Amino acid sequence: MSTRQLLLRFAKPYPGLIILTIILGFSGALFNGVSTALIVPVILKIVGQEVDLKSSPGIMKTLMAPFEEAPEHYRLLMMGGAIILTIVLKNLASYFSSLTSSFLSRRLTTDMRQEGVRLLLEVDTDYYAKTKVGDLINRLGGEIARASNTIANTIRTIILVITILVFVGFLVSISWQLTIAATLLLSLVTLVNQYAISRSKKFGTMLSEMSRAYSIALLEILSGMRLVKATGNEEKEYKRIVKLIRDREKADFHSQVNAELIAPVSEVMGMTALLLIVFLSRTLLKDQIASLSAVMLTYLLTLMRVLPLISQLNTLRSSFANNSSSVDIVCDFLRRDNKPLMDDGNIIYKSLEKGIHFNRISFGYPGHEKLVLRDVDVFLPRGKTLALVGGSGAGKSTLADLLPRFYDPISGSIEIDGTDLRKFNLTSLRKAMGIVSQDTFLFNDSVRNNISYGKPEASESEIIAAIKQANAYEFITQLPQGLDTSIGDRGVMLSGGQRQRLAIARALLQNPEILILDEATSALDTVSERLVQEAIDDLSRDRTTVVIAHRLSTVQKADQIAVMDQGRVVEVGTHAELLEKGGYYTRLHGMQFGDRQEESSKPRQNLIRISHEIRTRLNSMMGFLRLLIDDMADNSQERLELIDESYKSAFKILNIVEVFDDIIKLQKTWQSVAVGGENSCKELQNQTFSQVSAEFHTHLNHILSSLKVLTDDFVENIEEQNQLISNVYKSSVCLLNELESFEDIIKP
């Protein structure tokens, strides 16, 4: 696709605008030519020299004829008025032509960007596996801007060529001999500039490549900032980016030097050509030079108006060459025939009645000969849970990716109630599915907007119900602005468990009929995993679910477990059935649960760590309170700062106590599967822990409410403030006593 084809493709909806732009450009050129032809006769009349119209060219006779019939003392005034009128009309036409041209250029740029975004949303996921995101951003941004500049220059070139042709018509009508000579001389200017234009194309290609490299490198650094900082490579990456910036700046400078050379070279050679034409006119018209002085002056003035236009034309040619690589890149980017686009079916998905059948499917990634899945045949009944387990690279995630049609199998089919998945409308099918994966994506937006992303019309009550069911209500209410808190890029302000619970709340709100859980808890700590797993259990209830997991403990309750190895399903059955077989699943189970004793010691270690954290924060808070009680603050500002620090410490203690509550819940869950006499002992211990937690919360609620009153400056009387601080300190002492009792319980 060339520049012409690109222009025809995107300019097709705007034929009237293009025609109007060209008409305005032609009108401006015509008025420009008329005003130029009238200037010399007026000047000659002002200085008292008559113009010999009999020996003048036909065009000058035509232009001067209307004024010859006017009275002598009004003629000069009318001619001056005509010149001013034509110049005004010329500038008006040029002004509106520029506006329409710029408007058309902006619309074409917008259309190209919209087409690019639409293409990226429709293209298959395999395209993104082979294309760098930084390259795509560069194409959507810089390359399309440069290509649109080429389109804008095309329109300017059309108007410029029309203007030049109008002037050439005037020149030919005045003297065709001199015009031929001028054409030959000015052609030399174009030939000399051709070298600079060819270099512009080279520099344009270099700039495109350097812009692409810079965009890719910068996006990689921003995406991997944690790794850069963790490995201490800030200086290394800084030097890499600086080198790319400077290389691009250097190439841009050379490109500018080349481009800026065109105008002065054109001017020097143009003036040289003009002087040669003067000498030629003296030779060709030496017998008539006196009588044709007005004609010669008009010709030379018109020619001088043409020279800058020729210089502009050469500059535009250089710009075309410079941006030609961007046009090629954008043309390739906007093509659809060289990109993987998934065929869309015409059946609107409504509901699942019987089940999902992975019918003898095989799959290999495009461009790779090795099959990732081989002859997989599994049936998932409606409302049941299918767990996919196996080692890394077994094909579990790939199989799950085929269900929402991120890819299509190369043989076999996935059928919903006997209908091939490829016959369903993609949008309706995917809206019926909810996906919660290990790598949860969150937008840099509020909690509310992230949760309601799949269902923007959701009400406040629906959102709250979803976050409560996802075990996310407590931590969301503690955020500074609650549901309206911005969570940063990819949810960086939240923990891994919190991000997962938001993703589950999002899926719950969407209320999908088919659920895909891909390693949703594998990267979480023990407490977070338990909270997320509870939310997943609620999410999976009464839904058709595909679960992918490395930890077998999370899939033991599945209705059906498919064990995969090297792209094949080697065993299918329930947890108990597979253990009885003594096969691959049994070996996986033995590897994961062989160290159960070591795992059982982790809750006690967590409790010891929690005790240490509470004591650290509590000591800090009591220190601040003691300073307030002893009136050690120098002024009211320092007093407020001590109260605020006390409140922050108390709030952090509350967060730690909530983690303690999560551990108690976790131990109760382990207790429910324990057997033997140890069960009753653990039950008693958990009751003790629950009582300790209740005491912690009682004291903390009093401390936080009192400090909140003080931080909000609701109590102005200093004596009342001191009384509140004393009460807070007493509650802190009680909290410390409870902590010491708790530490006695958890001592080894």
Distance CA 67, CA 54 (A): 15
* Span 187-208, average pLDDT: 69
pTM: 0.58
Q: What superfamily would CATH give domain 3-334? A: ABC transporter type 1, transmembrane domain (1.20.1560.10)
Residue 581: half-sphere exposure toward Cβ, Cα within 13 Å: 17
Cβ count near 97 (within 10 Å): 23
pLDDT of 48 strictly over 60:
no
**Which DSSP string do the residues of 458-499 spell out, in sequence order?**
--HHHHHHHHHHTT-HHHHHTSTTGGG-B--GGGTTS-HHHH
pLDDT for the residue 4: 64
The share of the chain scoring above pLDDT 70, in percent, equals: 77
Out of 109-118, 143-152, 717-726, pick the least confident.
Answer: 143-152
**Residue 367 falls in which region: left (phi positive, over 0), alpha (psi -120 to 50) or beta:** left
Distance CA 381, CA 640 (A): 63
Report pLDDT digits (tens) over 513-528. Answer: 888 888 766 545 555 5
Q: How far from 602 is each of 149, 257, 511, 598, 659, CA to CA, in Å?
A: 64, 69, 36, 7, 14
User: Which of the pair, 444 or 421, is modelled with greater confidence?
Assistant: 421
pLDDT of 704 strictly over 70:
yes
Distance CA 740, CA 83 (A): 101
Report pLDDT digits (tens) over 612-622. Answer: 778 887 888 88
pLDDT of 596 strictly over 50:
no
- Six-digit token pair at 556? 């033991």
Report pLDDT digits (tens) over 653-668. Answer: 887 787 777 667 656 6
Residue 246 phi, psi dihedral angles, 5° rounding: -70, -40
- Per-residue burial over 60-94, b if 16 or more Cβ lie within 10 Å, else e, is beebbeebeeeeeeebeeebeebbeebbebbeebb
Q: Which of 161-165, 289-293, 538-542 has the highest mean pLDDT?
A: 161-165
pLDDT for the residue 673: 46
pLDDT for the residue 357: 92
Name the average pLDDT for the chain. Answer: 76
User: Which of the pair, 483 or 53, is modelled with greater confidence?
Assistant: 483
* Span 363-381, average pLDDT: 86
The CATH architecture one would assign to domain 600-746 is Up-down Bundle (1.20)
- Per-residue burial over 296-323, b if 16 or more Cβ lie within 10 Å, else e, is bebbbebbebbbebbbbbbbbbbbbbbb
pLDDT for the residue 361: 92
Residue among 563, 581, 559 at smallest CA distance from 572:
563
* Span 185-194, average pLDDT: 69
Burial class of residue 730, CB neighbours in 10 A (0-12, 13-18, 19+): middle
Out of 210-224, 257-271, 380-394, 546-560, pick the least confident.
Answer: 257-271
Q: Which of 134-138, 311-315, 517-521, 693-697 has the highest mean pLDDT?
A: 693-697
15 pLDDT band (50/70/90 cuts)?
A: confident
Q: What is the domain partition of the chain in residue ranges?
A: 3-334, 600-746
pLDDT for the residue 665: 66
Q: Where is 145: in which H helix or E strand?
A: helix 144-174
pLDDT of 302 strictly over 70:
yes
pLDDT of 49 strictly over 70:
no
pLDDT of 648 strictly over 70:
yes
Indicate the DSSP class of residue 341. Answer: B
pLDDT of 390 strictly over 80:
yes
**Which DSSP string do the residues of 381-428 spell out, in sequence order?**
ETT-EEEEEESTTSSHHHHHHHTTTSS--SEEEEEETTEEGGGB-HHH
pLDDT of 300 strictly over 60:
yes
Burial class of residue 242, CB neighbours in 10 A (0-12, 13-18, 19+): exposed
